[in-house]
Amino acid sequence: MQARITLITLGVDDLPRALAFYRDGLGFASEGIVGTQFEHGAVAFFDLQPGLKLALWPRASIAHDTGVPLHPRSPTEITIGHNVASKDEVDAVMARAVQAGATPVKPARTAFWGGYAGYFQDPDGHLWEVAWNPQFEGLA
């Protein structure tokens, strides 16, 4: 199987709050909440890079769609890595996220693997790692 991941969906508890964090706080472009005419259809989409979108969808809607009951959130289930081009950019992204309402989890610092990284949690508890990886030069 060839991986063709085109959408990452994060379950959120408060869709307008999550939209504001990602659009207004982090500056991710979005047309806002769409699909409100459908029960369990309200969602917000963001273009992350060519071929990859981020969706914010209420956790209750995900539970309804999948048939999997709602469970307490666990931030350690998944992390999203945001690789940037420099250590200074790591610091700038971390500061912007905190200013937008993120909770700093691990301040940016030199990592054991030779890069520079830190973690924050969005308002729904999702963990984001902001990293500069010298092995990814030219990819960020």
Per-residue model confidence as pLDDT tens digits over 14-27: 999 999 999 999 99
Q: Which residues of the chain have pLDDT under 70?
A: 138-140
DSSP strand pairing (43-49 vs 33-34)? antiparallel
**pLDDT of res. 67:** 96
Show the domains of the chain with their CATH numbers: 7-66 (3.10.180.10), 75-136 (3.10.180.10)
**pLDDT of res. 138:** 64
CA distance 38 to 26: 28
Q: Specify the pTM.
A: 0.89
